[in-house]
Amino acid sequence: MLLPNWAGIELLKNSRLELFAQICQTGQTLGGFMAITIIGAGYVGLITGVGLAKLGHQVNIVDTDPTKIEKLNSWQPPIYELGLNDLLQDNEVQKRLHFSGSLDARKFDSDIYFIAVGTPTKINGRGADVSYVEMAAEQIANVCPPKSIIVLKSTVPVGTNDKLQKQLDTAFYDKKIAVISNPEFLKEGAAVFDFFNPDRIVLGGKDSEALRKIGHLYQGLNRPGAAPLKLLAVDWQSAELIKYGSNALLAVRLSFINEMAAICENSNADIIEVAKGIGQDSRIGAQFLNAGPGWGGVMLPKRH
């Protein structure tokens, strides 16, 4: 996830900001019904789960951290995100949202499973460790009904979804599990807003029925006052590279504007005015052109 550009958020139309406030503070639901299990109650898993519950789905979030589950079962968020606490206090959301410390199919009838676990950098510093993703997928496959869908929200190296599908086809061939890539594009500090106002929803996979079903999960985001929902269905590798490419390009923008700030210091120019002038070019845009101490957030530093 990436740090928010507050100037960019302020530039959004007031109607969208007002609609976001209404979503967080009212009991209105926005979509249909499906039963979903999410593995991982971190930034991505929690925001996704709360958002999907608000859209009308039944959601069970599973995490092995007992302290985190205890807080969530008391409707206390373990992280701060604008709007998250309001959603957790929403009575309608509370009826649809469940938290547990283990994956037990008998307690929750689901055929859609999101994986939102960590993919830390390997000890040798070369690439991401996807062992937690593989373990989660195996646990799901052991309990899920036939023709279930596993959706990867975790940021994974290119080829991971394809590899995981082949592993499941071999070890659980009778279940015919479909793997779908659905990368997240959330900004830390504005993640709830981003869930309900996505620039696009990226889905990667080969199973057309699974792609259609996961796309339907998000149809509740098509609502009056919001920008039309953009769904992009591609292959696994393209979805994985869209995520990495987006992160890389944003990192380049941040690095570039910091280099420009250094030049401004040496030439007595004002970096704020320079960034404003550059960002007003419609080909470039103003977001992520704020000079500062490099980049931060949960995802960007360890990926680049």
What is the pLDDT averaged over residues 154-174?
95
| 241 assigned to some structural domain | no
Q: Do 141 and 275 belong to one domain?
A: no
For 53-73, write each residue's pLDDT tens digit. Answer: 999 999 999 999 999 999 999
High-pLDDT (> 90) share of the chain, %: 69
Residues 227 and 263 in one domain: no
Whether 152 and 250 share a structural domain: no
- 64 and 137 co-located in one domain: yes
CATH number of the domain residue 77 falls in: 3.40.50.720
pLDDT of residue 276: 96
What are all long-range contacts of 134-141, with beta carbons under 8 Å and residues at least 24 apart?
134/164, 134/167, 136/39, 136/40, 137/164, 137/167, 137/168, 138/171, 139/39, 139/103, 140/37, 140/39, 140/103, 140/113, 140/115, 141/168, 141/171, 141/172, 141/175, 141/177
Cα(136)–Cα(262) distance, integer angstroms: 45
Identify the weakest region by mean pLDDT among 12-21, 37-46, 120-129: 12-21
Question: pLDDT averaged over the chain?
Answer: 86
Which residue range forms the structural domain that includes residue 274? 246-303
Instruction: Please say if the pLDDT value at position 300 is more than 70.
Output: no
Residue 1 lies in a domain: no
CATH of residue 290: 1.10.1040.10
Which of 235, 260, 276 represents a domain boundary (last residue)? 235
Give the model's pLDDT for residue 7. Answer: 35
> What span, in angstroms and rounded, lies between the C-alpha atoms of 220 and 243?
23
Whether residue 240 lies inside any domain: the answer is no
Q: Are residues 100 and 183 in the same domain?
A: yes
Counting the structural domains of the chain, the total is: 2
HSE-up (13 A, CA, CB side) for residue 247: 24
**How much of the chain exceeds pLDDT 70, in percent?**
84
Domain-terminating residue out of 190, 212, 235: 235
Tell whether 268 and 211 lie within a shared domain: no
